[in-house]
Amino acid sequence: MWDFRFWIGIGPSTGALSAASGSCYDAARKRGESNIQNLKFKLSSRRPKLGQHFLHDQRYRSRILEALPLEACDVVFEIGPGRGAMTGLLAERARKVIAIEIDRALAQGLKEDFPYVEIILADVLRVDFAALCREQGIKQGFVFGNLPYYITSPILHHLFAQRDSIRSMGLLMQSEVAERVTAAPGTRDYGYLTVAAQLYSQPLTAFTVPPGAFSPAPKVLSALVTFQMKARFELWTRATGDKFLGFVKRCFAQKRKNLLNNLVGFYLRDRIVQALEEAHKSVNLRAEQLSLEELAGVFERLTRAAGGARKDN
């Protein structure tokens, strides 16, 4: 029995498809929705604009599977299953696989090759994972994806926003993004994406995957990153996480500027100086020199102080 669900074009109130994101990536994603051809995917042409680099190396497929913190009772949400390089392997290990693919020809091929997998024809950025979990009668699922690299960051933010519905994840991404996600303070890669990822999860790079493992080979090295979806400070993050990340975005707005100059348009200068001094930090520090905890400390001091905020914070 297979369940092949064409969700594109169905209104946001139906099922697990949320309202259109309207991002700058829409044009590329929409290409996946057009040219409806019921060709089996093996006959379909590849769409480089949709980030289609298929994992053909069997050894890396096995290594990836072994490295995933997957449990037999998990329901897996697979992002971009493509031609199913990992889909069957995941299905052997987990309770169920629900695969979300934007390319109609690929989705049709998957339906034929993996009749026991539920295929959702949709843009992952529009998928509501909480609704998927409700439909499956579960609280949380496991997310796997060999991500389409043209939207790695939007996908990560979409997943972090829905972290309550995700137990754990294993994502293959460009190693440059993996380095940003797992970066330590004081390094070149440390920035907004790092803080967001490390606030909401515990990311860990498992290993890198060379371009030759994919067909066609991408221009960059890839890396598998696993994420345990556990917030750094659970209660504080639940109450304050989104506001804090708005603050962090301002802190890193211009990487060459120090923290004080990035924040001065939003808070009174004296208050920022005071908050940094209270935290025993130099006023000349740049944001990347502060750990997540230190950034949270400065944020708390600024927002706690009556009259500290200059604008809506």
DSSP 133-176: HHHHT-S-EEEEEE--GGGHHHHHHHHHHTGGGEEEEEEEEEHH
Count residues near ligand SAM (CB under 6 A). 25
Nearer to ligand SAM, 68 or 79 (CB): 79
As given in the structure block, the two tokens for residue 37 are 């051809």
Q: In sequence order, which residues have a C-beta less than 8 Å from that of residue 304 and are 6 or more positions away?
A: none
Which span (119-127, 203-211, 241-249, 291-299) binds ligand SAM, by CB under 6 A? Answer: 119-127
For ligand SAM, which residue has the nearest CB?
Answer: 80
What is the Cα–Cα distance from 299 to 288, expressed in whole angstroms? 15
Closest distance to ligand SAM from the beta carbon of 119 (Å): 11
Nearer to ligand SAM, 97 or 195 (CB): 97
Nearer to ligand SAM, 32 or 241 (CB): 32
Element (H, E) at 240: helix 234-251
Q: Kindly identify the residues of this chain, within the stretch 60-79, that bind ligand SAM according to CB under 6 A.
A: 79
What is the Cα–Cα distance from 95 to 235, expressed in whole angstroms? 31
Nearer to ligand SAM, 83 or 180 (CB): 83
Q: What is the dihedral of CA 17, 23, 29, 30, to 10 degrees?
A: 80
Closest distance to ligand SAM from the beta carbon of 179 (Å): 19
Position 123 contacts ligand SAM (CB under 6 A): yes
Q: Kindly identify the residues of this chain, within the stretch 262-281, that bind ligand SAM according to CB under 6 A.
A: none
What is the Cα–Cα distance from 50 to 148, expressed in whole angstroms? 6
As given in the structure block, the two tokens for residue 246 are 């708005």
One-letter amino acid at 33 equals E
Q: Are 72 and 93 in contact (CB under 8 A)?
A: yes
Closest distance to ligand SAM from the beta carbon of 36 (Å): 14
- Taking the alpha carbons at both ends of the chain, their separation in whole angstroms is 52
Closest distance to ligand SAM from the beta carbon of 64 (Å): 9
Among 18, 44, 108, 146, contact with ligand SAM (rule: CB under 6 A) = 146
Q: Kindly identify the residues of this chain, within the stretch 26-55, that bind ligand SAM according to CB under 6 A.
A: 29, 50-55
What's the farthest any 2 CA atoms get from each other in the chain? 66
Which span (11-19, 123-131, 198-206, 229-237) binds ligand SAM, by CB under 6 A? Answer: 123-131
Q: Kindly identify the residues of this chain, within the stretch 189-228, that bind ligand SAM according to CB under 6 A.
A: none
Q: What 3-state DSSP class applies to 20?
A: coil
What is the Cα–Cα distance from 30 to 43, expressed in whole angstroms? 21
Closest distance to ligand SAM from the beta carbon of 114 (Å): 12
Closest distance to ligand SAM from the beta carbon of 180 (Å): 19
Q: Kindly identify the residues of this chain, within the stretch 78-107, that bind ligand SAM according to CB under 6 A.
A: 79-83, 85-86, 100-103, 106
Q: Are 68 and 89 in contact (CB under 8 A)?
A: no
Q: Binding residues for ligand SAM, per CB under 6 A? A: 29, 50-55, 79-83, 85-86, 100-103, 106, 123-125, 146, 148, 151
